[in-house]
Amino acid sequence: MDEHIREMLKYIRFRGLLANWDLYIELAVKEDFSPVQLLNYIVAEEYTIKKENSRRLRISRAKIPEKYMIETYPFQRQPNLNKKRVLSLYDAFDYIEKKQNHIWIGPTGVGKTGLATAFLIQAVDHGYSGRFILFPDLIEILYNSIADHSEASVIKLFASYDCLLIDEIGYLEIEPVQVGLFFTLMHKRHKNKTTIITSNLGFQQWTSFLQNTQLTAALIDRLTENSHVINMKNCISLRPRLNKVE
């Protein structure tokens, strides 16, 4: 390849063409491509490469600790879980467009996080922005933002994700100011974005960690107004752990 061509390809960031120049030339000769066919092929390859790179970047930014797949969830070991409903929600993939929330409720170890993560990854794979965060970590970030008066920007950031997965709600008692910040975030996401939540506590127990009856009622009202609540209370703990994607 001519060095000038190489530098131009680097500048316009045609990484796929830069890496596969000789392969494309060889293929064009072998398949007797016309100039138009060759151009179409190269454009299609560049498009595929850039889309995949964008997907990988969104996955990285989503900070998903373990990348579970819906296909490997052991539904056969959870007869009390409504498999048809879960797969119907997944296959329809209209929850982002409809700004619908998903709330997974059940004891530790039944696979709530794995299933919720599969839905988050699905959204990211389809081009939407997403983020995974543990509830205690989210509360800490919100609380720490008070010190430098960055509450508004932090809430704006978490309100901007098309799909936000908040894992393990209910494992931490929080102070009134933290409850207020969390409620503000959920209020901003209400009817605008999709929020996925996992909790080991039923709604009637949320007052125990939010410690504010009125705010708890208002929060639950907003979260459940346009949502799918998946009850896994009667499911069993899964061992070994769920399969994940590397």
In angstroms, the CA 28 to CA 108 distance is 56
Mean pLDDT on 181-197: 95
Q: Does the CA dihedral 53-58-60-66 come out positive or negative?
A: negative
In angstroms, the CA 214 to CA 78 distance is 35
Across the chain, which distance is largest between two alpha carbons, in Å?
73
Q: Does the CA dihedral 178-181-184-189 come out positive or negative?
A: negative
Confidence check: pLDDT of 146 > 90 = yes
First-to-last C-alpha distance (Å) of the chain: 35
How many residues are recorded in the chain? 246
DSSP state letter for 214: H
> pLDDT tier at 89 (50, 70, 90 boundaries)?
very high
> pLDDT tier at 246 (50, 70, 90 boundaries)?
very low
Mean pLDDT on 90-109: 96
Report yes or no: 215 and 179 within 8 Å, Cβ to Cβ.
Answer: yes
Q: Please report the domains of the chain, with CATH numbers, ordered by start residue.
A: 3-61 (no CATH), 64-245 (3.40.50.300)
In angstroms, the CA 108 to CA 130 distance is 24
The pTM score is 0.85
**Residue-level pLDDT at 12:** 77
pLDDT over 90, % of the chain:
65
Mean pLDDT on 226-244: 82
In angstroms, the CA 81 to CA 34 distance is 55
In angstroms, the CA 179 to CA 216 distance is 9
In angstroms, the CA 148 to CA 136 distance is 20
SS3 state at 132: strand
